[in-house]
Structure 1
Amino acid sequence: MLAGLNDIYKAQEDLENLKLNYPDLYEQLHHVVSLTRQLQIKYGYMGSLLRDEDLPKYRPQFVRDSILSLYQNEVEKLKQNPDFGKVKELIKDHAKVGDPKLFLLILGAKPELLQGSTIMK
């Protein structure tokens, strides 16, 4: 099920509200999303870690265990934020949009470019 442009705009609006109301939490989230991109780890892996889900589907194949451990520590720091429930709620509310598109919005992607795109994981 693909998210429509209105769904993506709503996700962007909710991210902006998170940024305004929980700036420290948003900054931590942005840091982890940026790190995910820089390490070329799939966004689905990050989403799975944030939701405490089983990971085999997205587990990185070509990332050294030491690097993966550092990455997981950064994700854990985000999860220890007292307001982390807001991030989980936002991810759940926008499940139709999906982790990759949601996280790309955090990095500044335009909603129009994300609509209908299914190549990202």
Structure 2
Amino acid sequence: MLTTSSYNQLKNAQMAFEKLNAAKPSIYRKFINIIKLTRQLQFGYQYMGALIMDEDPGEFNSTSKDDYVLSVYYREIENLKTDNKFLDLKQLLKTYKQLSYANISKLALGEKPEALVGPTLVR
């Protein structure tokens, strides 16, 4: 699937994450930790986003076959989802979903919107 992100959309998403970090740093920090864990385990951001948003992760399934690693990953995502501030994060992700969870994750990690403008292949 191919998605296209405009600079304005990316900039708005970046500002929304900055506001979330300022207003609710604990949920923002948990989200950043999930992003880093996703990257460390070499899972896809789309897989992560689908799990967080209760979507079907079928086409983005992880390549890991290790049940323990998957159980730790799922437990961390459930920990994020049970936070009482999770609905704010979920609404933000829903609002900017068209940018792709990969671009959203990169913005949350501090990447500049200029670097993410244009088409993105979502796998």
Paired residue secondary structure (2:77): helix
Aligned to 1:58, which of 39, 48, 60?
Answer: 60
TM-score, reference length from structure 1: 0.93
Decide which moves more: 24-33 or 53-62. Answer: 53-62
Alignment root-mean-square deviation, CA: 1.3
- Count, aligned residues: 121
Output aligned runs, 1:23-62, within 5 Å.
23-62=25-64
TM-score, reference length from structure 2: 0.92
Paired residue secondary structure (1:118): strand
Paired residue secondary structure (2:4): coil
Give the Cα–Cα distance (whole angstroms) in 2 for the partners of residues 35 and 63 of structure 1.
16
Aligned residue in 2 for 1:13: 15
Letter in 2 for 1:81: D
**Structure 1 regions of 5+ residues with no counterpart?**
none
Give the Cα–Cα distance (whole angstroms) in 1 for the partners of residues 115 and 73 of structure 2.
28
Aligned residue in 1 for 2:99: 97
How far did residue 119 of structure 1 move? 3.9
4+ residue runs over 2 A deviation: none
Output aligned runs, 1:74-93, within 5 Å.
74-93=76-95
Decide which moves more: 52-61 or 69-78. Answer: 52-61
**Structure 2 regions of 5+ residues with no counterpart?**
none
Q: Work out whether residues 46 and 122 of structure 2, in 8 Å CA contact, stay in contact via their aligned partners in 1.
A: no
How far did residue 63 of structure 1 move? 4.4
Aligned to 2:116, which of 108, 111, 114?
Answer: 114
